[in-house]
Amino acid sequence: MDRRLVTGFEVSGSMLAIVYALLIASNTGNEVLGFVLLLISAALFAGWAVIDRRWAFLTLQFFYAASAVIGLIRWA
């Protein structure tokens, strides 16, 4: 397992999730961008979960990805 790859997924996914949350909470009309960031964040976290064999965390990422798709459909 490559720790640098795991760290990259973890840090990038976390940063995107933070920006997503701020965009949605700010109510500034950036919802579509926010949900795109959530989808990318969920993909990065899913990659981390697979590499580290964190199956419950991977399941959670499917929920976040589904939420992002619903948000994109709703706001696009």
Rounded-to-5 percentages of helix, strand, coil across the chain: 90, 0, 10
What is this structure's pTM?
0.93
Model pLDDT, residue 21 = 97
Per-residue pLDDT of the chain (76 residues; tens, 9 = 90+): 688 888 999 999 999 999 999 999 999 999 999 999 999 999 999 999 999 999 999 999 999 999 999 999 999 8
The pLDDT of residue 28: 95
Give me the domain span that covers residue 39: 3-75
Residue type, 32: V
Residue 1 has what pLDDT?
Answer: 60
Residue 9 in contact with residue 45, Cβ under 8 Å?
yes
